[in-house]
Amino acid sequence: MARMKFFCDAERCIECNGCVTACKNVNEVPWGINRRRVVTINDGKPGERSLSVACMHCSDAPCMAVCPVDCFYQTADGLVLHDKDICIGCGYCFYACPFGAPQFPTEGAFGSRGKMDKCTFCAGGPEADGSAEERRKYGANRLAEGKLPACAEMCATKALLAGDADVVADIYRERVAYRGAAGMQRGWGVAYGKPGVQAGKDMKGKAAGKD
């Protein structure tokens, strides 16, 4: 079976937050819940890179391991989903997750932590595929319609890839080969006095380090 994964190519991400907007739109995510976010490292400095982060659907998911009510389940596609009816809003999954994927509404009953919400890879939840109940609780179920997650589909530069891990890996391998190792080495910090091999005068783009 295809194992579904996300991959964000930091060389291509332009921090447009299109993925964030697509996710919020398609899943009707309430205010204050951030299923996906874009993190920018060294903003404004040479070597600035951005990454789009949401649930990484880990093979050995820490959230699944620490949940006191065992509300997580892993689908045949390798996606880590959870059942909001079972969730008690304790927050342990949030402490354990390396990526901060679980989100909690603070305006739950009495302002205490409500049910956990997170990226579902646009695969919905345990309710029937495409039902109104599923849509209300978990957002869109695009996978059941044969589509890929909205964030990856929306990505302007195809930095964010989602889908069968083998296919994603192939795409990325092709990019690495095309860029060449030199693309990574050259010009990363050449300007502004960092050591390294000089970029050729005809090289263009980010790989040339002329940004």
Partner 1 sequence: MFLEFVEGPLWYASAAIFIFGVSLRLIEVLTRGMPPDLSAPRGPGWPGALRTLFSRSWTAEGFTRGATFHLVAGYMFHIGLFVLLLFAAPHVVFLEERVLGFGWTPAPHWLFILAADLAFAGLALLWLRRVMHPVMRKISTFDDHAAAILTFIVMFTGCMALLMSHESLRAIHMLTVCLLLIYFPFSRLMHAFTFFLSRGFTGAAMARKGVQA
Partner 2 sequence: MSDIAAPSPRLRYRRAFRISVLLLAFVLIVPLVPYGLAATGVQLTNPGADLWREVRQRVQPYEATTQVKDIDGAALINTWGETWREFRSDRLVPIGGGILLGTLGLIAAFYLIRGRIRIEGGRSGELVPRFSVNQRVVHWFAAGLFVILGLTGLVLLYGRYVLIPLLGPEGFSATAAACKEVHNLFGPIFPFAIVGLMVLFGRGNRFRWLDVKWFIKAGGLFGHRIADSGYYNGGQKTWFWMTVLFGLLISISGLVLDFPLFGQGRELMAAAHVVHAVIAVVFIAASLGHIYIGTLGMEGASESMTRGYVDGNWAKEHHNLWYAEMEKAGMVGVDENALEEVRRHDDIDFRGFGSPLPKGGDTGH
Binding span for partner 1 by CB under 8 A among 24-32, 38-46, 106-114, 143-151: 106-114
Rounded to 5°, angle at Cα 175 from 123 and 195? 125
Amino acid type, 103: Q
Residue 73 near residue 82, CB atoms below 8 Å: yes
Q: Which of 196, 200, 210, 211 is the binder for partner 2 (CB under 8 A)?
A: 196
Cα–Cα distance for residue pair 24/20, rounded to 1 Å: 6
Give the nearer residue to partner 2 in terms of CB position, either 148 or 185.
185
Quick check: 145 binds partner 2 (CB under 8 A)? no
Give the nearer residue to partner 2 in terms of CB position, either 8 or 143.
8
206: its two tokens: 């980010």
Residue 136: which of 151, 124, 119, 148 has the closest Cα? 124
Binding span for partner 1 by CB under 8 A among 9-17, 65-73, 103-111, 175-183: 103-111
Rounded to 5°, angle at Cα 38 from 34 and 42? 140
> What is the binding site for partner 2 (CB under 8 A)?
10, 17, 20, 34, 37-43, 45, 47, 49, 51, 53, 62, 65-71, 83, 85-92, 94-100, 103, 112-113, 181, 184-185, 188-189, 194-197
